[in-house]
Amino acid sequence: MRLWLVVLAAAAGTYALRVSFVTLFGRVDDVPSRVKRALAFVPPAVLAALVLPELVLYGDGLSVSLSNDRLVAGLVAAGVAWKTEDMLATVVVGMGALYVLSLVP
Amino acid sequence: MTERRDFLSGAWDSVPTLPANVPFGFVAGAAAVQAGFSDLQAVAMSALIFGGASQLAAIDLLDSGSPLVIVVLTAVVVNLRYVMYSAAIAPYFQEFRSKWRLFASQFIVDTTFAIAVTEYERDPETDRLAYWLGVCATIYLGYVLGTAAGVVVGDAVPDGLQLDFAVPLLFLALLVPSITDEATGIAAAVGGFVAVAAAGLPMNVGIVVAALLGITAGALADVAEVGA
């Protein structure tokens, strides 16, 4: 019962976030162009905020060196993403790089 | 039939997310049953919340005995970034009938948002609703079925596979093409570095702060560029 409460409350809260601007903007005729411009920065800012900590934080601290397998694999994957703009290739090469690096002592 | 074609191309364009998305669902399902969720509760969690990071955060807190209010609040805070996606995608959803807008909103996540907006920008002729439903069919079903598999397999996942790393790789594959000029580069740099610096803040609030600062920095750089 407790767990259902968590699932339903979190789902309702999350849905409210998702639907917020979609319904708001449905009521106004025009989205100001300045707002539109600012929203173009949402993907790079959010995605970088999600990715970078995963690559450079290890345990409780910062680890920026070639001995950080996830950072190196991430850099390789970033190169693939830049060259190919292909999601599958990026994920496959990045995972492959991580496996290869974890074999290197 | 352009609707049918656009639905299928949305579904197809989203296939590359599956190698990251299905394991993410799998991990969420396995973690939930390990934390004491019933099979049905674990699948319902993915189907209703549809946000892996927030689900894992909630499971983690439940495991450590946090009060339910904190668990729910944390799950919602981790998902705060969906407000930004909601705002960014709202202009494209405006043409839908209102009940379709309400339905379509449930499926807003990082990947569905990024794939759909990329296509809407690339080809204004695309049937937006059909394309969106195609994208969501692949990603949502992949995630929920991945969760079901995780529920079935439970504890038997070897940690050595490090499948959790597929998640940042997927975000990286979406991040790189989103950086198209100096201003978007600044937005990404600020977002990334602030997130690292703020990683110690409770409840993953650092991600939200980092994103807002990144967006602000990008917008300021943009204004400076135009003004120069």
What is the number of H-type helices and E-type strands within chain B?
12, 0
Beta bridge partners of A62: A57
Task: Give the pair of three-digit tokens for residue B19.
Answer: 């190698």
Residue B122 lies in a domain: yes
Provide the shortest C-alpha distance from residue A97 to chain B (in Å). 11
* pTM attached to this predicted model: 0.72
Higher-scoring residue by pLDDT: B225, A94 = A94
Mutate to test the interface with B, among A20, A23, A42 (most CBs of B within 10 A): A42
Is the domain of B153 the same as that of B183?
A: no
Q: Answer yes or no: do B189 and B215 share one domain.
A: yes
* Six-digit token string for B51: 């946000």
The residue range of the domain holding B135 is 2-161
B84 CB neighbours in chain A (<8 A) are: 39, 42, 46
E strand or H helix at A77: helix A69-84
- Does B143 share its domain with B204? no
Residue boundaries of the structural domains of chain A? 1-40, 42-105
Do B118 and B199 fall into the same domain?
no
How many domains is chain B built from? 2
pLDDT tens figures, B7-46: 999 999 999 889 878 888 988 898 898 888 999 999 999 9
Whether residues B124 and B42 share a domain: the answer is yes
Structure tokens at A55: 């690559």
Out of B83, B193, B210, name the one closest to residue A21 (CB): B83
Q: Which of A6, A26, A95 sits opposite B58 (nearest CB)?
A: A6
Pair (B118, B228) in one structural domain: no
Residue B124 included in any domain: yes
Last residue of a domain, one of B108, B128, B161: B161
Write the pLDDT tens digit of every residue in B94-110: 899 999 999 999 999 98
Residues B67 and B107 in one domain: yes
- Domain boundary pick from B161, B192, B218: B161
How far is B89 from B86, CA to CA, in rounded Å? Answer: 5
Shared-domain flag, residues B92 and B24 = yes
Q: Are residues B45 and B156 in the same domain?
A: yes
Over residues B133-143, the mean pLDDT reads 97
Show which of residues 34-93 on chain A sit within 8 Å of chain B, judged by CB atoms.
35-57, 62, 70, 73-74, 77-78, 81-82, 85-88, 90-92
Nearest to B48 among A11, A49, A56 (CB): A11
- Nearest residue to B178 (alpha-carbon basis) of A50, A40, A53, A74: A40
- Pair B43, B138 in one domain: yes
CA distance B121 to B132: 13
- Contact between B207 and A50 (Cβ < 8 Å): yes
